[in-house]
Homo-oligomer: A and B are copies of this chain.
């Protein structure tokens, strides 16, 4: 799930959000954003906080606060998968999110599918304005599936191939 972005553009987008909402441009906020966009894949708050602490003085409360703003500004997505703590993910512009979640071991694997994506995007509603969507397929991963000694009759095995 590669994305093109430069920190400048991100900062710009966030600055606009801050100004629009009459919020202050504090160094802490930009430090958090920078770290988030340097992080690959999911991250948890505690993780991010620890990473930040090493070269910057921030409090947990500020990290939570800033992430919340980033969500509002459409720069971060919050996932609440099975497990104790929420997972977050950077989210440059609108994107969609497809996951295979193992109901036994909890492992999460991303996949993508253009046909599904387009079909969902086509759909419109009378009173709801869709932004992004996320699709979770719950099931058993290869490790947890008893009858999986390599499944052969896959019609279209396109995990991690269809992207972009």
Contact = CB atoms under 8 A, between A and B. Distances in A.
A42 to B, nearest CB: 14
A119 B122 contact: no
B115 A127 contact: no
A44 B126 CA distance: 29
A129 B120 CA distance: 22
Interface of A: 78, 80-82, 100, 102-103, 109, 111, 113, 115-116, 119-120, 122-142, 145, 147-148, 150-151, 153-157, 159
Contacts of A156: 123-124
14 contacts: A103-B131, A116-B120, A120-B135, A120-B137, A124-B157, A125-B159, A127-B159, A128-B137, A128-B141, A128-B159, A129-B145, A129-B151, A133-B138, A134-B135
A125 B138 contact: no
